[in-house]
Amino acid sequence: MQIIDSGMGTGFQNLIGGLRSKVIRSLRLATLLFGLLGLVWANNAYSASKSILVLGDSLSAEYGLARGSGWVALLQQRLQAEKFDSSITNASISGETSSGGKTRLPALLQQRPDIVIIELGANDALRGLQLSATESNLRAMISAAQQAKAKVLLVGMRIPPNYGRDYTEKFFSLYATLAQQTKVPLVPFLLDGVADKPELFQADRIHPVAQAHPVILNNVWSGLKPLLAK
């Protein structure tokens, strides 16, 4: 007959129970630590300091607006609100053409921006310039920025149909073609959600009022945010 010491059995059970509790606590602690590390990694991915260069025309230069109400200024506020440690240089000039932007860009790239937003070409089209020249200038700017190790966000535009359907459609499509060929993200149309609302434009019917710029910012943000995370 086998005799089992009940005291020894109870002690063994207590030992097993204690070990099980320690293992469970260790697993919970490990899970918590991995979760915290994941949050740190995610935060670092989004909050690493990045400098942004905006190279645009009057649509980005707050033409006819109070200082701080244009989409670029609103972008700085958005970055701060979403905890992105990023700075912006707005090198936009009213009336700027793609040729002017190409000329100015090399000096601006000496600041070593991480991201370059190119919002140019509309003034070329409004002046009826050759689309081949606009395409060439934009391509040169994209190439220069990429060679400087900057990521590029290309911003597309449309022009009024009174310039002729063929010209206006070819102008609009050149942005998508360039983005595909140079492998850069594209904001298809800067004024999407604005262009068809006359009340969102100033008296010249070309430049949006301040109330339109949050919409414009959202258009740009959809293409910019993924670049901030890389």
pLDDT tens for each residue of 80-123: 999 999 999 999 999 999 999 999 999 999 999 999 999 999 99
Q: Which of 85, 114, 204, 222 is catalytic?
A: 204
Q: Has 58 been annotated as catalytic? A: yes
In this prediction, residue 230 has a pLDDT band, given cuts at 50, 70 and 90, of confident
Q: What are phi and psi of 30, to 5 degrees?
A: -65, -40
Q: Which of 57, 58, 92, 98 is catalytic?
A: 58
Q: In the numeric block, which tokens belong to residue 183?
A: 């492998």
* Residue 105 contacts residue 150 (beta carbons within 8 Å): no
Verify that 100 and 145 share a domain, yes or no: yes
* Residue 172 contacts residue 158 (beta carbons within 8 Å): yes
Verify that 4 and 103 share a domain, yes or no: no
* Residue 208 contacts residue 190 (beta carbons within 8 Å): no
Verify that 40 and 54 share a domain, yes or no: no
pLDDT digits (tens, 9 = 90+) for 159-178: 988 889 999 999 999 999 99
Structurally, the chain folds into a number of domains equal to 2
**Residue 27 domain boundaries:** 1-47
Verify that 8 and 53 share a domain, yes or no: no
Q: Which of 51, 87, 192, 207 is catalytic?
A: 207
Verify that 55 and 121 share a domain, yes or no: yes
Verify that 209 and 180 share a domain, yes or no: yes
CATH value at residue 212: 3.40.50.1110
pLDDT in the model for residue 16:
47
Q: Which of 18-32, 57-71, 111-125, 192-206 has the lowest mean pLDDT?
A: 18-32
Q: What is the DSSP letter of 203?
A: T
Kindly report the pTM of this predicted structure. Answer: 0.80
pLDDT digits (tens, 9 = 90+) for 178-217: 999 999 999 999 999 999 999 999 999 999 999 999 999 9
Q: Has 204 been annotated as catalytic? A: yes
Verify that 86 and 187 share a domain, yes or no: yes
Q: Which of 5-14, 49-58, 114-123, 162-171 has the lowest mean pLDDT?
A: 5-14
Q: Has 49 been annotated as catalytic? A: no
Verify that 131 and 151 share a domain, yes or no: yes
Verify that 177 and 66 share a domain, yes or no: yes
Cα–Cα distances in Å, from 114 out to 104, 175, 182? Answer: 17, 21, 17
